[in-house]
Structure 1
């Protein structure tokens, strides 16, 4: 798994503080912005967090490149709707010899790993066979319609991928570019940094938070799973029961 911060709104903390101060001031925007020191910015962000004024966080966006995750993980990621996503297509990109993700629990059991690899190998072989059969079928159809061989093959391969992908597993590796505003990131971290989240997307979320902290430490000092961000666990009987350990983990992350 690889997570990289590709881009972010310049001077994110200063922008948030400027937008927030504007709500309570008759001064012009440039004057508000120029009057902000680092201490004033951090103090204002702390105040915003204490009163739950998160709308001003929407002015700041972060864009991440995520690679080496499974389709099972990306399906969870795109459920976070206030965001923008661009993902490697299984329709336009051929998946012959596709990379796949193996869950750690399966890696730890030799017999399970052997069975897992066997099934993946069978799917890979079947996928490649389907692509060839469907490509040949469509080439024949397109050449009969008068297309030259090169054009027919190009068009046929896309149609073949489109249908052959139906047998690809959730384990299939994918790549995705994600853009979220800070308010959406807060929500994402509350849900996905939690121990109750699936292991893979939790690892992605934790790394995204670590990268955000490098750029905007004051803003994201208030981010994390619910037990960290809100001081309480909303999971009830389904709680992991490790609030102390979780808080220590994120405190250490934010101290770096």
Structure 2
């Protein structure tokens, strides 16, 4: 067995990558298949998952666009009640931020709405493979509605209130499964997580061992820690024994909450502020608080508005 420390990593480097690269890098965490990433693997990987309906991967990249339109057209857009998009009135028009999934679903549901068609046309021009069957190249767009992509540096320069709503950040955590169970309760976030159903920890790339996260509750070398260690060794032995005759999804039923997992949490700064306020007080779960205090400090160092 392997005992690891909890940790976190901000995914801002992926923000500078193309959408396909970002989606693949996030999506492969589920299968721990990062070793299969090549220069031209991203688009086929994402298209395949999209065809299977694995829409959670398509939530791992957001786009911000500015829509210049009449007040009446803006009102019609608000009346659509767009799902999973952040929408604000901005400079006489609209400021929209949403994931690839949210724009795809909006395009399917409301293809004839002027602002929707104009936004999808812009996105499909940049990434046609993401909008196949949703937008037909050359389809008529109202010339009175102008849409432009807002660069990340422009989002970073928005007033604090808009910055908090439109700047999304992904953080990859290495934690135990008790902590990940709490993280996924934050409803407005998107998540991708290492899958015990697909990962076979008896394989060479896992060292033929199960990884567990060091418990914050027990001092290493104490009697409590020795009891915990023995329990994890027993769980690993039972898991590996079951793999001789069963699939990983069957064998995982004996694995405990202490198992290490990797999970990406992706949401707006506004939601991150809520998570931090909920998960860092002294009455929070100690395992959660241990990791979230460090993340909170890094957020505050990056964005002054997050320090309050």
Same fold flag (TM > 0.5) = yes
Q: CA RMSD in A?
A: 3.1
* Aligned match of 1:6: 11
In structure 2, C-alpha distance between the alignment counterparts of 1:81 and 1:171, rounded to whole Å:
24
Alpha-carbon shift at residue 109 of structure 1 (Å): 6.3
Find out whether 1:215 has 2:220 as its counterpart.
Answer: no
* Aligned match of 1:87: 193
* Aligned match of 2:210: 98
* Aligned match of 1:169: 256
In structure 2, C-alpha distance between the alignment counterparts of 1:203 and 1:125, rounded to whole Å:
29
Find out whether 1:202 has 2:289 as its counterpart.
Answer: yes
Is the Cα–Cα contact under 8 Å of residues 193 and 205 in structure 1 kept in the other structure?
A: yes
Number of matched residues?
A: 168
Picking from 233, 239, 255, the partner of 1:121 is 233
Alpha-carbon shift at residue 25 of structure 1 (Å): 6.1
Is the Cα–Cα contact under 8 Å of residues 9 and 60 in structure 1 kept in the other structure?
A: no
In structure 1, C-alpha distance between the alignment counterparts of 2:239 and 2:191, rounded to whole Å:
26
In structure 1, C-alpha distance between the alignment counterparts of 2:93 and 2:259, rounded to whole Å:
54
Deviations 1:127-146 (A, max 9, x none): 10101022xxxxxxxxxxxx
Stretches of structure 1 that go unaligned for 5 or more consecutive residues are 16-21, 34-40, 49-54, 135-159, 223-256
**Higher relative contact order at CA 8 Å, sep ≥6: structure 1 or structure 2?**
1
More helix by share: 1
In structure 2, C-alpha distance between the alignment counterparts of 1:187 and 1:175, rounded to whole Å:
22
Is the Cα–Cα contact under 8 Å of residues 216 and 287 in structure 2 kept in the other structure?
A: no
Instruction: Give the TM-score of the pair, scaled to structure 2.
Output: 0.48
Alpha-carbon shift at residue 24 of structure 1 (Å): 8.2
Alpha-carbon shift at residue 125 of structure 1 (Å): 0.7
In structure 1, C-alpha distance between the alignment counterparts of 2:227 and 2:92, rounded to whole Å:
68
The structure whose Rg is larger is: 1
More strand by share: 2
* Aligned match of 1:107: 219
Is the Cα–Cα contact under 8 Å of residues 216 and 286 in structure 2 kept in the other structure?
A: no
Find out whether 1:130 has 2:216 as its counterpart.
Answer: no
In structure 2, C-alpha distance between the alignment counterparts of 1:110 and 1:104, rounded to whole Å:
12
Instruction: Give the TM-score of the pair, scaled to structure 1.
Output: 0.57
Secondary structure, aligned partner of 2:225: helix
Picking from 167, 187, 191, the partner of 2:274 is 187
Is the Cα–Cα contact under 8 Å of residues 85 and 177 in structure 1 kept in the other structure?
A: yes
